Amino acid sequence: MICAGIDAGSRAIKVVLIDAAGLDVIASGITDQGVRQDALATELFDRVLASRGLSRGDVARTVATGYARNIVSLADTVITEITCHACGVHHLVPEARTVIEIGGQDSKVLHLDTGGGVRDFAMNDRCAAGTGRFLELASARLGVELSQVEAMTARSRKPAAISSMCAVFAETEIIGLLATGARHEDILAGVQASIASRIAGMVGRRLTPPAVFTGGVARVPSMAGALEKALGLPVAVAPTPQMTGALGAAILAARQAAGGGSR
């Protein structure tokens, strides 16, 4: 039996197909998000199916999650990204007790029980300062591709201090730092430290290790280092961190298809 998960995120759409018997991933795909959200999700879904010689009729159940989950018309049901990321990370890293997910437009800290259920969570969806959008804005202002961030921050000797808790004001700070001759490497390292500081504020004193970092921003390895410094504890990056939401959705779809509900 094949089941599917679609994570219609704010910056990208991800699709994962699994064999429900062993919860093994058999195909996956990703595409940029856009204004035609349902059409983009459908086109990606069909491409991923075609890559394995499958059709929609071969899929027993499909769960959608993410920012635009309610727009995905081909999904059988929707489940919040909090539940799906928890499920996906627990499947990949069963011992995880804290999940830090930083996406394009929001960030979350999930506290898990031993079975992978969500005991509690905190979410920042009101300001871009603790999200991938802030890193994108800063990189664009500096004329740096996101693919270059890792190498540049590795050369930072003294991360710039960025104190604003709002992405708009922080961008003004970056302009001021450039005017004083601050190195691009140090500004980017300062942006990462600022994002990590926001996450640390969300975690408070409730972080239970092991902590696992997921979401699109986790693809920048130096962000894990910034989080470790801010939290004072090791932070592991989830395997295929951008896909954990879609993976969790597919696993939950398999449970529903087998009559086991959303857990």
Q: Tens of pLDDT along 8-54? A: 998 899 999 999 999 999 999 999 998 899 999 999 999 999 999 99
115 and 205 assigned to the same domain: yes
Output the CA torsion 154→160→162→167 (10° steps): -50
pLDDT score for 261: 61
Domain co-membership, 33 together with 102: no
Domain count, the chain: 2
Distances (CA, A) of 253 to 54, 98, 161, 207, 249: 18, 23, 45, 29, 6
Answer yes or no: do 88 and 121 share one domain. Answer: no
- How far apart are alpha carbons 31 and 252 in whole angstroms? 22
Please indicate, yes or no, whether residues 15 and 87 belong to a single structural domain of this protein. yes
Is residue 76 located within the same domain as residue 87? yes
| Domain shared by 40 and 117, yes or no | no
What rounded mean pLDDT belongs to the chain? 91
| Residues sharing a CB contact under 8 Å with residue 39, sequence separation 6 or more, in sequence order | none
CA distance 173 to 153: 18
Residues 233 and 263 in one domain: no
- CATH value at residue 175: 3.30.420.40
**Are residues 40 and 81 located together in one domain of the fold?**
yes
Buried b or exposed e, range 229-260, using 16+ CB within 10 angstroms: bbbeeebbbbebbbbbbbbbbbbbbbbbbeee
Shared domain for 110 and 27, answered yes or no, is no
- Which residue in 231, 228, 215, 204 sits closest to 84, CA to CA? 215
- Residue 53 has a CB neighbour count (10 Å cut-off) of 7
Q: Do 146 and 119 share a structural domain?
A: yes
pLDDT digits (tens, 9 = 90+) for 97-154: 999 999 887 899 999 999 999 999 998 866 666 778 888 888 888 888 888 888 899 9
Range of the domain at 6: 1-93+241-263
Record the tokens describing residue 165, joined without a space.
Answer: 């808790």
178: number of Cβ within 10 Å: 15
Residues 245 and 234 in one domain: no
Task: Put the strands of the sheet holding 107-112 in their side by side order.
Answer: 118-124, 107-112, 98-102, 211-214, 235-237
Amino acid 192: pLDDT: 92
Q: Are residues 72 and 191 in the same domain?
A: no
- Strands 12-19 and 211-214, by their bridges, are unpaired
Q: Look at residue 221 in the predicted model and tell me its pLDDT.
A: 85
